[in-house]
Chains A and B, each alone.
Chain A
Amino acid sequence: MTTWIFNPFTYIAGFKSLVIGWMIILITACIAYYSHTHFDGAIDAHVFAGNEMYPAWHYVAEPFIDWSSLVLVFFITGRIFSVSTVRFIDIAGTFALARGPFVLLALVDFLAPQTKDLFHISPQLLFFVFISLGGAIWVIALIYNAFKVSANIKGQRSVWLFIISLILAEVVSKIILHYTLH
């Protein structure tokens, strides 16, 4: 069961996981439109409390740009550092499926309380924070395992390459989002 939650890529990868992952991304985008959740970075999820409405396609484009940035950076890392043959479809598929917990985060954002300062911490805010933190950890664990399975890189090397690649992907996604959507 733990494997299915944190490393489903042991069983599902390639085209199958790409299709499931894309469907999840689209569902997430639909929910995010109504809960005003923006995925404005490779692993970012922010809820905007303002009344400003962005066009619907923004909510679809954001997660796809995030996913593309991750796939691009981690595919290059895998091809350079792995002794195995890294297939693009495996990186693309597993990284799409790894975005699954963002559905939960987009849903939880409906409960996001309006908080102006940290002196007004309500039980609702604490619940929101814990669920969001748990979701973020889950996404990072899934992305790490997606990288490990797709690129066959193990040990300490995989941890360092993962951290550096994740930061690079975050920077790449921010740049693309800045010049395309914002």
Chain B
Amino acid sequence: MKQLKKSLPHVCPSCQSPLKVTSLSCDACATVVSGSFELPLLARLSGEELQFVLDFVKSSGSLKVMAQQLGLSYPTVRNLLDDIIQKIEANERILKADQ
């Protein structure tokens, strides 16, 4: 049976506002922590974008190494990074506006 791949939702499907974490649970002892926690900025990225950030960190921040690993040109990889930076900055602005 094909396993369903779930992604973490970070915007409300109804009104598109940013979602918050309201409960966390421990699988071992079933303890549940409730409250209102902000999603970390990186958790607001899509799966592909988050993978890009992880690969970027693993390659010591070298775009040249990233380009070789992904089989893409240097400016293409730089553009992907710039797009993620812009998205993070936009999320930061939204979070500041909410506070």
A residues neighboring B (CB under 8 Å)? 9-14, 17, 83-85, 87, 90, 94, 149-150, 152
Contacts and interface: CB of A to CB of B under 8 A. Distances in A.
13 contacts: A9-B75, A10-B72, A14-B74, A83-B86, A84-B78, A84-B79, A85-B78, A87-B75, A90-B75, A149-B73, A149-B79, A150-B75, A152-B79
Contacts of B82: 83-84, 152
A38 B78 CA distance: 37
Contacts of A85: 78
A87 B72 CA distance: 16
A94 B74 CA distance: 12
B76 interface: yes
B75 A149 contact: yes
B73 to A, nearest CB: 4
A8 to B, nearest CB: 9
A32 B72 CA distance: 33
A173 to B, nearest CB: 24
A9 B76 contact: yes
A11 B71 contact: yes
Nearest to A91: B75
Contacts of A149: 73, 75-76, 79
B83 to A, nearest CB: 8
Interface string B62-77: 0000000001111110
B76 A13 contact: yes
Contacts of B75: 9, 13-14, 87, 90, 94, 149-150, 152
Contact of B72 (A11, A83, A94, A150): A11
